[in-house]
């Protein structure tokens, strides 16, 4: 048997690893799986674990008030040292570009354990955007032994950095998670979701907004907020729903600028099932989130990306997403065109997802089992 450790700590990691964990668990005769969470996120992480019925074997419970990147690195590495020493896995699986993923890969390297990187090869080319994720994923790429790239472009990025061995293009597991999540939701009472969002008028065009990137803190975030305010002033048939990130640097400008608008609904961060239900029932998406850029095309939802650069360039190339940055005029102009022009809307609302077909987790599982033979 191959002894595999998954190490993750944030909500996005949990979502994207959930379908892979399920695939590993389905092969319990060949894979001994241990799940380790750092708790870099706490409540948001726990919501995803509950939804997908995943029970960690180890929990470092790192999250604390006003935690810094230094805190996560130092305390995370210290906690992982003892766990890895006592369990000695054959393979560590990390996902994406969080600080948890980086310290998971670094701890594996220190213990001379093989490392598999899921969602390998994403690059923006700007080490400060997204921050600190761009540098995290570059470093993980050079620590990892096996690279599961979601797209051809991601694999090319790795080769450009002279990483040439053990690269597989498998698609993105976030699409697997989306389909798995929607299947679970279908088995539940739809009234639970309709009642939860009863404050929304779905006869109007619902715009889902997410925004939390560190590089946008300050004036860029204020620009985003003023853009949203003007959009509702221009279009009476629009309602905006914005699950507001817990970071005070996000909450302060959002609440101050948008807090008194009747057609802008500022709510607490949504549990994953409610988020994907809302995504499915929205008209369009304004976001700086990587995951939603990948999920929305599978549901035929146009995406405006409120960042100056994106490592998820495939959606831009095939036309399911458009970069608008944090410029007020550009956000308002592009959103207005999608609201006014049915032709333009249909052009972006393609169900042609360049990020995957929902089978990435099976591919990764099969490759790992083949490597272990």
Please tell me the predicted confidence (pLDDT) of residue 204. 97
In the residue annotation, 142 being an active-site residue is answered as: no
| Distance in angstroms (rounded) separating the CA atoms of residues 308 and 327 | 9
State yes or no: cis peptide before 280, omega within 30 of 0. Answer: no
In the residue annotation, 214 being an active-site residue is answered as: yes
CATH code: domain 190-348 is 3.40.50.2000
Please tell me the predicted confidence (pLDDT) of residue 215. 79
Residue 329: both structure tokens together = 């005029």
Residue 219: both structure tokens together = 């004036």
Please tell me the predicted confidence (pLDDT) of residue 135. 97
User: Which residue has tokens 């995943």?
Assistant: 54
Q: How many CB atoms lie within 10 A of CB 354?
A: 23
- The catalytic residue among 119, 134, 176, 295 is 119
CA-closest candidate to residue 94, choices 56, 132, 141: 141
Beta bridge partner(s), residue 284: 207
- The catalytic residue among 214, 251, 265, 344 is 214
- Would you give the end-to-end CA distance of the chain in angstroms? 9
Domain limits, the chain:
2-171+358-372, 190-348
Please tell me the predicted confidence (pLDDT) of residue 183. 95
- The catalytic residue among 13, 23, 97, 314 is 97
**Per residue in 67-83, is it b (16+ CB within 10 Å) or e — as a string?**
eeeeebeebbeebbeeb
pLDDT in tens, the chain (373 residues): 999 999 999 999 999 999 999 999 999 999 999 999 998 888 889 999 999 999 999 999 998 888 899 999 999 999 999 999 999 999 999 999 999 999 999 999 999 999 999 999 999 999 998 889 999 999 999 999 999 999 999 999 999 999 999 999 999 999 999 999 999 999 998 889 999 999 999 999 999 999 887 777 889 889 999 999 999 999 999 999 999 988 888 899 999 999 989 999 999 989 999 999 999 999 999 998 878 898 999 999 999 999 888 888 888 998 899 999 999 999 999 999 999 999 999 998 976 788 999 999 999 999 999 998 7
Please tell me the predicted confidence (pLDDT) of residue 245. 86
Please tell me the predicted confidence (pLDDT) of residue 40. 87
Residue 175: both structure tokens together = 């699409």
- The catalytic residue among 245, 307, 312, 363 is 245
Task: Please tell me the CATH superfamily of domain 2-171+358-372, with its number.
Answer: Glycogen Phosphorylase B; (3.40.50.2000)
Beta bridge partner(s), residue 117: 94, 147
| Distance in angstroms (rounded) separating the CA atoms of residues 15 and 178 | 9
- The catalytic residue among 13, 23, 59, 133 is 133
- The catalytic residue among 41, 212, 363, 365 is 212
> What pTM was computed for the model?
0.88
In the residue annotation, 13 being an active-site residue is answered as: no
Please tell me the predicted confidence (pLDDT) of residue 63. 84
In the residue annotation, 212 being an active-site residue is answered as: yes
Do the domains at 2-171+358-372 and 190-348 have one common CATH topology? yes
Average pLDDT over the chain, rounded to whole?
94
């Amino acid at each position: 048997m191959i002894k595999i450790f998954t190490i993750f700590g944030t909500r996005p990691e949990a979502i994207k690893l959930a379908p892979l964990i399920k695939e590993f668990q389905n092969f319990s005769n060949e894979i001994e799986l241990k799940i380790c969470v750092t708790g870099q996120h706490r409540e948001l992480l726990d919501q995803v674990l509950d939804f997908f019925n995943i029970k960690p074997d180890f929990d470092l419970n790192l999250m604390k008030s006003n935690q810094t990147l230094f805190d996560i690195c130092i305390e995370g590495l210290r906690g992982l040292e003892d766990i890895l020493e006592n369990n000695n896995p054959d393979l560590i699986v990390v996902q994406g570009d969080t600080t948890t993923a980086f310290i998971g890969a670094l701890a594996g390297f220190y213990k001379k354990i093989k490392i598999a990187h899921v969602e390998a090869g994403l690059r923006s080319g700007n080490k400060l955007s997204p921050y600190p994720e761009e540098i995290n994923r570059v470093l993980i790429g050079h620590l990892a032994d096996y690279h599961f790239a979601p797209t051809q472009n991601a694999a090319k990025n790795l080769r450009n950095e002279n990483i040439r061995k053990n690269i597989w293009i498998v698609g993105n597991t976030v699409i697997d998670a989306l389909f798995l999540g929607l299947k679970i939701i279908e088995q539940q009472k739809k009234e639970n979701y309709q009642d939860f969002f009863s404050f929304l008028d779905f006869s109007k065009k619902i715009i889902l907004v997410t925004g939390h990137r560190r590089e946008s803190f300050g004036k860029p975030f204020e620009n985003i907020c003023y853009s949203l305010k003007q959009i509702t002033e221009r279009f009476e048939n629009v309602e905006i729903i914005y699950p507001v990130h817990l970071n005070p640097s996000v909450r302060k400008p959002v609440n101050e600028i948008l807090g008194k608008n009747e057609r802008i609904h500022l709510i607490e961060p949504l549990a994953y099932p409610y988020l994907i239900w809302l995504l499915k029932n929205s008209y369009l998406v304004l976001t700086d989130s990587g995951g939603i850029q990948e999920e929305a095309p599978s549901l035929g939802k146009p995406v405006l990306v409120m960042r100056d650069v994106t490592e998820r360039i495939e959606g831009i190339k095939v036309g399911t997403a458009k970069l608008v940055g944090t410029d007020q005029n550009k956000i308002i102009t592009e959103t207005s065109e999608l609201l006014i022009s049915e032709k333009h809307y249909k052009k972006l609302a393609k169900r042609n997802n360049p990020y995957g077909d929902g089978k990435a987790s099976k591919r990764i599982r099969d490759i790992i089992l083949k490597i272990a033979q």
